Structures are given as structure tokens and as C-alpha cells.
């Protein structure tokens, strides 16, 4: 009885520690200092898809602020009664169900989940790479890549009349530049071998 309780307690604490939000999500070095495996995942995405690490982080920062269970707030009826959510967006990347299913089908990553950081950054790599192919937007262009990410490939052409999304994209661009500068200060340390307990 006690053994089962301890096992469940350990599992809960383990999952909580793996999924909790980093203390300083505005600093890429601090993020990876807390979550070294996250660096390994983003580095792999950079190698496979070409998407810079700082852009992966900036998109997640804007979309969910690194909250693995993030969802859009519910709409309200008569400004009081909680109603349905405006979209099926979920997890770190805030990917919607339809696009997530497309990602799983095209990559063969059938067990991918939107609540897992590893899968979320791989999704971002896949998506931004397709944006480069479809819209000819460089992977290093945080501003336009985010607009395509937020609006979708079909609606991208209309973004110039959307002040809200332009404002969001500017924030992503600014944050990506901050992350990029920060990474130059810790990249050598991150690339050194580290022992990982689990």
C-alpha cells in the first residue's frame, strides 16, 4: 500500500518537474540551464529542419510562454457564461488538431503529443520548413515566419491589413534577437557533454 503510494508520488513529482515552466522564460541560457534536454531537442531540430534555436524558442514564448498545458481562453456568452474555446490550439506550440495530424502523418511521428516539448519543437521545425518551401520565407526571418505560423499558409498574403498579428510578429522578432544574443554567451557551455540522470 505504502509502496504504491510512494511510486505514484514519485511519478507525479517526476512529471511535474519535467513539465513545469522554467523560472525565466525570457532568457534562453536560463531556460537551457534548467532544461538541458530541451537544448538537445532544439539543436536536433536545427540540424534536421534548419530552424534556428532562437526562433523555435521565440515562437513558443509567444504561443504558450512554455506552458505545456496552454489552451486559448474560453469565449464568454453575455460576457459572463464560459463558452467554447476559439480554436483547438494546445500545448507548447499551440498547434491546432488538424495541422498536428498533418505533421504526424508527414513525419511518421505517430506518437507525438502537443504537451511534449520534444515533439512541439519538431513540429515548429517542420512547419517553418514548409513555410520556406511554400512561401519562400527564409528560416531566419522571425517576423514573417511567425506571421505564417499564426495565420497559416493560405492567409499569410492578407497579413498587412492585420495590425494585431503584425504587432505579435514584431514581439517574436524582438524576442528571437534577444534569445540569439543570449545563446552566444552560453552555446559553448551547452555543447559540452553533460551527464543526464534520466
Q: How far apart are CA 61 and CA 70, in angstroms?
A: 11
Strand, helix or coil at 95?
A: strand
Q: How far apart are CA 56 and CA 61, in angstroms?
A: 9
- Cell numbers 506518437 correspond to 111
pLDDT tens digits for range 64-112? 999 988 655 544 444 555 434 345 677 999 999 999 999 999 999 999 9
Q: Look up the pTM and report it.
A: 0.84
169 Cα distance to chain centroid: 15
Q: 81 forms bridges with which residues in the sheet?
A: 77
Give residue 20's pLDDT.
81
Amino acid at each position: 500500500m505504502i509502496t504504491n503510494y510512494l511510486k505514484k508520488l514519485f511519478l507525479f513529482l517526476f512529471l511535474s518537474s519535467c513539465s513545469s515552466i522554467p523560472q525565466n522564460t525570457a532568457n534562453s541560457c536560463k531556460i537551457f540551464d534548467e532544461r538541458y534536454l530541451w537544448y538537445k531537442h532544439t539543436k536536433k531540430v536545427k540540424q534536421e529542419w534548419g530552424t534556428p534555436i532562437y526562433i523555435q524558442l521565440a515562437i513558443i514564448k509567444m504561443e504558450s510562454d512554455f506552458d505545456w498545458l496552454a489552451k486559448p481562453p474560453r469565449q464568454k456568452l453575455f460576457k459572463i457564461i464560459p463558452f467554447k474555446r476559439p480554436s483547438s490550439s494546445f500545448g507548447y506550440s499551440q498547434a491546432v488538431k488538424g495541422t498536428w495530424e498533418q505533421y504526424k502523418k508527414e513525419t511518421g511521428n505517430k506518437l507525438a503529443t502537443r504537451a511534449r516539448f520534444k515533439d512541439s519543437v519538431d513540429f515548429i521545425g517542420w512547419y517553418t520548413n514548409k513555410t520556406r518551401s511554400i512561401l519562400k520565407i527564409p528560416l531566419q526571418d522571425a517576423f514573417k515566419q511567425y506571421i505564417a505560423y499564426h495565420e497559416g499558409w493560405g492567409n499569410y498574403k492578407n497579413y498587412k491589413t492585420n495590425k494585431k498579428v503584425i504587432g505579435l510578429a514584431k514581439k517574436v522578432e524582438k524576442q528571437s534577437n534577444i534569445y540569439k544574443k543570449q545563446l552566444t554567451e552560453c552555446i559553448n557551455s551547452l555543447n559540452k557533454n553533460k551527464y543526464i540522470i534520466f
